[in-house]
Amino acid sequence: MTVAVETGTWQLDTTATTVAIAHRTIWGLVTVKGAFGSVSGRGEVRADGSAVGTVTLDATSLDTGNAKRDTHLRSADFFDADQHPDITLAVRSAELRDGDTVQVIGQLTVRGISRPLSLTARLTGADADALTLDTEFSVDREQFGITWNQLGMLRGPATVTATLRFTRSS
């Protein structure tokens, strides 16, 4: 699919957006999965075709289907949501390349710690009023001060999977 995305301001459509995480636990035998129920964001497509913007996750909205685990994930052992309620990806540059491939360069902030992040997304739908991006990337939780690991149960990076739908606002 080769497309030209309209310039202007784009708002994240929260009803059609999903952001989920998965992480292997119990020595790699079980994968814990969860989704963020509250996601917001906006972007701007510039005249040269590049884009900038932000996507913000409410750390308290993570739902893994286990209330006790969710409470622990919100605690200082993990996301420390009382002190750092937002997880933010500030996109410094997003460029459409090779048809439907979007190269994204930005900064991910978790627990008040910011690290550069480069990822590839796929433009899965675009017209004059809406566009949808799909991506999957890995995050090393220890880079963000999330080091709790009782009995060595957590190994490797967490996987983030997102479908982001933006609608044109101007």
pTM for the structure as a whole? 0.89
E strand or H helix that includes residue 69: helix 67-74
pLDDT given for residue 151 in this prediction: 47
Q: Could you report the per-residue pLDDT of 75-90, keeping only the tens digit for each?
A: 998 899 999 999 999 9
- pLDDT at position 10 over 60: yes
What is each CA distance from 143 to 24, 25, 73, 110, 166, in whole angstroms?
17, 18, 16, 9, 29
Max intra-chain CA distance, the chain? 52
Q: Which two tokens stand for residue 158?
A: 């967490």
Q: Which two tokens stand for residue 50?
A: 């590049």
pLDDT given for residue 7 in this prediction: 87
Q: Could you report the per-residue pLDDT of 87-141, keeping only the tens digit for each?
A: 999 999 999 888 899 999 999 999 999 999 999 999 998 888 999 999 999 999 8
- pLDDT at position 39 over 80: yes
pLDDT band for position 1 (cuts 50, 70, 90): very low
What mean pLDDT do residues 34-45 have? 96
Instruction: Select from 119, 152, 153 the least CA-distant residue to 136.
Output: 119
Q: For residue 87, count CB atoms less than 10 angstroms from its CB and return exposed for 0-12, middle for 13-18, buried for 19 or more.
A: buried
Residue with tokens 């675009």: 126
Q: Which two tokens stand for residue 147?
A: 């080091």
> Which domains are assigned to the chain?
8-168 (2.40.128.110)
